[in-house]
Structure 1
Amino acid sequence: MQRGRIRHMAIFTLKHAEDAPETERFLRDGRTILSAIPTVERFEVVRQISPKNPYRFGFSMEFADQAAYDAYNEHPAHVDFVERRWKLEVESFQEIDFAAEDR
């Protein structure tokens, strides 16, 4: 990852069963809605495979810089997804934001 770029990850467990249609709908809608925000790059939906971690899924994405990340956080589609879906369907989560280390 190049200096100045940000990798944002939201790892989470849903209130729905892992194999429920609601789970697949949430993951699909998250990909469709969030990856369409102009500043989002390299969007991925991931599933946790380690038994050491309680979170089952993740959204991972990159941003060119802090301004691009801020624009994502303030974008109406992101705010709407958080209010209408995330707050209702996510049981627990952790956000992780990485910036490239110069060493």
Structure 2
Amino acid sequence: MSSNRLIHSVIFSLKHEKGSEEEHRFLEDGRAALSTIPTVQEFKVLKQISPKNTYDFGFSMKFASEADYEAYNVHPQHVDFVENRWEKEVEQFLEIDYSEI
């Protein structure tokens, strides 16, 4: 059985010192900006704990459809966060999009 539901996740590391106020602020500002976009469902801020990679955090969210995901991508809050925070403060990232099957 297939579904149009989409899970968008991005794992990343920040340029900020681990445990710093800047790191905490970025995560909280990301939660505030991205979780309130109307098409976003089940937004989560995650701490990566595996020693198998060099990433530190993750943002994960679900969308009811690919159209809802595309609406998120062009939403002014998302565009603003990417341009003014993400591009300046993220050191490395990996983005993965899944569809539920």
- The TM tier, using the shorter chain, reads over 0.9
Aligned to 1:78: 78
State the alpha-carbon separation in 2 of the partners of residues 56 and 71 from structure 1. Answer: 27
Normalised by the size of structure 1, how large is the TM-score?
A: 0.95
Ranges in structure 1 where 5+ consecutive residues have no aligned partner: none
State the alpha-carbon separation in 2 of the partners of residues 15 and 26 from structure 1. Answer: 11
State the alpha-carbon separation in 2 of the partners of residues 17 and 96 from structure 1. Answer: 25
Q: Is structure 2 residue 28 aligned with structure 1 residue 28?
A: yes
| Displacement after TM superposition at 1:100 (Å) | 1.2
| Displacement after TM superposition at 1:17 (Å) | 1.4
| Displacement after TM superposition at 1:69 (Å) | 0.0
The residue correspondences of 1:42-57 to structure 2 (distance < 5 A) are: 42-57=42-57
Cα deviations across residues 63-91 of structure 1 (Å, max 9, x unaligned)?
00000000000000000000000000000
Q: Is structure 2 residue 7 aligned with structure 1 residue 7?
A: yes
| Displacement after TM superposition at 1:18 (Å) | 1.8
| Displacement after TM superposition at 1:34 (Å) | 0.2
Aligned to 2:59: 59
| Displacement after TM superposition at 1:62 (Å) | 0.2
| Displacement after TM superposition at 1:3 (Å) | 1.1
Aligned residues: 100
Aligned to 1:91: 91
CA RMSD of aligned residues (A): 0.9
Ranges in structure 2 where 5+ consecutive residues have no aligned partner: none
Cα deviations across residues 12-69 of structure 1 (Å, max 9, x unaligned)?
0000012010000000000000001000000000001111011100000000000000
